[in-house]
Amino acid sequence: MTRKTIKVDYLARVEGEGGLKVTIEEGVVKNAQLNIFEPPRFFEAFMRGRHYTETPDIVARICGICPVAYQMSAVHALENIFGIQLTGQLRALRRLLYCGEWIESHVLHIYMLHAPDFLGYEGAIDMARDHSELVRQGLEMKKIGNDILTLVGGREIHPINVRVGGFHRAPRKSELVPLVEKLKWARETAIKTVQWAAELDFPDRQRDYIFVSLKHEAEYPFNEGRIISNQGLNISAQDYDAYFSEQHVPYSTALQSRLRQCGSAYLVGPLARYNLNYDQLSPLTKELAHTAGVAGVCRNPYQSILVRALEVVYAFDEALRILDGYQQPDYSFVDVTLKAGRGFAATEAPRGLLYHRYELDQSGIIIDAQIVPPTSQNQACIEEDLKEFIGGFLDLPEEKLQHRCEQTVRNYDPCISCATHFLKLEIDRV
Amino acid sequence: MIIGIGNLDRGDDAAGRLVARALGHKLPSHIISVCELSGDALALVEKMKQAPTVFIIDACVSGEKAGDIKRIDLRYQALLSQQRDVSSHGFGLSAAIDLAGILGQLPEICIIYAIEGENYALGAAVSLPVQQAIDKVVGRIEEEIVNFIPMKGTEHA
């Protein structure tokens, strides 16, 4: 019996840690374990004893990449307690803010994290030496997402303008108008990104996933909708805990989510949204999807880069639609009538469903909080991908096999701030 | 331009942003612009191209004593990355510097102050040695800006 171990350490900023261990026995992948360190669990404890009005600013600090998602799930859950349902321009502004975050997050992943996998580079820095225009293009697009966050969210990192009931301040139309020309340029660039991504050399791997995402009758989901799956699930956020369970696995500090009834892993994120909500995409996005050969269905996780690119086109398209109809509302928030109770919400973070639950007492103090981030929901699915796909790559040289494992994890864009920081990869061949 | 990088909720990782914040209060905005970043390298690359002279302050882990201060003037010395800072999601300071260089977006003068941290736990307070280092770095950058005579090479405080 021989054993070979390959170990790679990565270090980024000090915001968490995670690791991946793949065990191969006699040419078969026997086990794959993803260990993710998960700050949202600490924030659940931080929230207890705080006044509900502090929530948007606290949860925004869970993640530097997706603060809007945390804010949106939080304010919607709290508004659920108070019986508030935003309409009109305030609702549109929240959608616009979410567009900005999707653009920033997806463009970062497409250009800087995933593209090097397909173009054969160690990382984005090496790729930039040969493809500087491609990287510049990504930077410019991401900056426009950033501009949306600054204008609607109040600042570029950890936005401060969101509050329960709306916003602290609604921007004037004249403040948003300069975005229009930039967005038009960016939409054209996003179209080229789809065309570029469609030509990448994708491993031919598919699985029969259980996709889970929000579904809204009139729009591609950001803030609202029922939680559905391609296996018949159709529930409100209030029933999340009855249908999904979180389980502890001994090798990870993060809880793994599974469907309660059957114990199956499930997939959240762009691939799930796309497969469950294709009809709600804009005509332009659908036309591009058709040309790219993924109209309606995409079950190959390596093609998630293409689906993200399509979602970026949609986000620019949707942002332009919202700006076209925007008028500064007469009020920036609706009044809140305080009451005790439990509230629930799920919104679509760039990397998937983000569930929040809060319980308040009569004075508005949080007595319990639950936050289930998409990366922990996808953990079990990532492990299953590795078990199923890596076996087909075992003839690759060790270095390439290791790279393929990393790429398989990267398909999911797991969040460094919500999830991994140190990524230690270990392959055991027995 | 002053750019402070870090996470305010992670103990000593807040060092860079606290330095930037303090300088923002001390120096007039028509002389210097100040920004705080969470560590997203692309945002840093974007910021760096907006000014001919940039000071970047960040926490670091290099094995020195907590509170150790390194000053690196990129005109004279490269930033050594002990670890390849590619993760599944983001990039670090060295990647941002590399990327800005490749794209021709590095400012003419780019000076990095790195403060050695010891406690990066979520919710932790800034440690005493790092707090003292923050005060020192604020003073040194203020002096550099006032005199506008950037020092050369790497120095230990």
pLDDT tens sequence across B82-94: 433 433 345 678 8
What's the average model confidence in pLDDT over B2-16? 89
Q: Which residue of B has its CA nearest to A58?
A: B9
pLDDT of A10 reads 35
**Residue A2: alpha-carbon gap to chain centroid:** 40
Rounded to whole angstroms, the maximal C-alpha distance in chain A is 74
Distance of residue A315 Cα from the nearest chain B Cα, in angstroms:
20
pLDDT tens series, chain A, 430 aa? 444 333 333 322 223 455 677 888 877 888 888 776 655 667 888 899 999 999 999 998 887 788 999 999 999 999 999 999 999 999 999 999 999 999 999 998 899 888 988 998 888 888 999 999 999 999 999 999 999 999 999 877 778 999 999 999 999 999 999 999 999 999 999 999 999 999 999 999 999 999 999 999 999 999 999 999 999 999 999 999 999 998 888 777 677 899 999 999 999 999 999 999 999 999 999 999 999 999 999 999 999 999 999 999 999 999 999 999 999 999 999 999 999 999 999 999 999 999 999 999 999 999 999 999 998 899 899 989 988 888 888 888 877 887 888 888 888 887 644 433 334 556 566 5
pLDDT of the residue at A16: 40
Measure CB to CB from residue A125 to each of B99, B117, B122 and give the nearest one.
B99
Is B113 a residue whose pLDDT tops 80? yes
Residue B39: C-alpha distances to residues A418, B22, B119 (Å): 14, 19, 17
Interstrand relation of B155-156 and B69-73 (parallel, antiparallel or unpaired): antiparallel
Interface of B with A in 9-68 (CB under 8 A): 9-10, 13, 36-43, 45-46, 59, 61
Find the CB nearest A410 among B83, B88, B90.
B88
Separation in Å, CA of B149 to nearest CA in chain A = 31
Q: Is the pLDDT of residue B132 over 50?
A: yes
Q: What is the ipTM of this complex?
A: 0.76
User: HEC string of chain B?
Assistant: CEEEECCCCCHHHHHHHHHHHHHHHHCCCCCCCEEEECCCHHHHHHHHCCCCEEEEEEEECCCCCCCCEEEEECCCCCCCCCCCCECCCCECHHHHHHHHHHCCCCCCEEEEEEEECCCCCCCCCCCHHHHHHHHHHHHHHHHHHHHCCCCCCCEEC
Nearest to B90 among A18, A142, A416 (CB): A416
Name chain B contacts of A417, Cβ cutoff 8 Å.
89-90
Cα A394 to chain centroid, rounded: 30
The alpha carbon of residue A22 is apart from the nearest alpha carbon of chain B, in Å, by 17
- Residue A399: the pLDDT is 79
Instruction: Give A-chain residues touching B87 at CB under 8 angstroms.
Output: 10-12, 416, 420-423
Cross-chain residue pair B95–A413, CB shorter than 8 Å:
no
Q: Which residues of B touch A46 (CB under 8 A)?
A: 123
Indicate the residue of B8, B42, B88 with minimum beta-carbon distance to A139. Answer: B42
Compare CB distances from A157 to B37, B46, B95 and report the shortest one's residue: B37
More confident residue, B130 or A65: B130
- With a CB-CB cutoff of 8 Å, which residues 29-88 of chain A face chain B? 39, 42, 46, 61, 64-65
Within 8 A by CB and 6+ apart from A223, the residues are A72, A76, A91, A94, A95, A98, A347, A348
Contact B85 A10 (CB under 8 A): yes
pTM of model > 0.95 = no
Give the C-alpha separation, A254 to A112, whole Å. 26
Quick one: closest CA in B to A67, which residue?
B38
**Residue B7: which of A15, A142, A406 has the nearest Cβ?**
A15
> What is the per-residue pLDDT for B138?
97
Per the structure block, which two tokens stand in for A98? 């979410």
Chain B partners within 8 Å of A125 (Cβ): 95, 98-99, 102
Q: Chain B residues with CB inside 8 Å of A135's CB?
A: 99, 102-103
How many C-beta atoms lie closer than 10 Å to residue B65's C-beta? 8
pLDDT given at position A398:
79
pLDDT of residue B81: 56
Token pair listed for A345 = 């919400």
Listed in sequence order, the DSSP H helices in A154-213 are: 173-176, 179-198
| Nearest chain B CA: its distance from A199 CA (Å) | 23
Q: Which of B38, B61, B92 is the closest to A64 by Cβ?
A: B38
A136 touching chain B per CB within 8 A: yes
**Phi, psi dihedral angles at A286 (to 5 degrees):** -65, -40
Chain B residue whose CA is closest to A14: B120
Chain B partners within 8 Å of A422 (Cβ): 87
Per-residue confidence band for B28, with pLDDT thresholds at 50, 70 and 90: confident
Inter-chain residue contact A112 with B123, CB threshold 8 Å: no
